[in-house]
Amino acid sequence: SVTKRAVAGAAQHDKVPRPVGFVPRPPPCPGKIRHFDI
């Protein structure tokens, strides 16, 4: 059964400490600029 978690609970859940060395993935797009931006 699916239960709706209270926002606070969810927020707490998200407070789960991230593993040491966790590097957030850069946003997938747009990509890197190879020359210059105009």
Helices and strands: H and E segment counts in the chain:
1, 0
| Closest distance of CB 24 from other proteins, Å | 13
Q: Does 23 bind other proteins (CB under 8 A)?
A: no
Measured CA to CA, the distance from residue 32 to residue 36 in angstroms comes to: 10
Q: Does 17 bind other proteins (CB under 8 A)?
A: no
Nearer to other proteins, 20 or 36 (CB): 36
* Of 1, 3, 27, the residue nearest 13 (C-alpha): 3
Give contact residues for other proteins (rule: CB under 8 A).
Answer: 25-26, 28-38
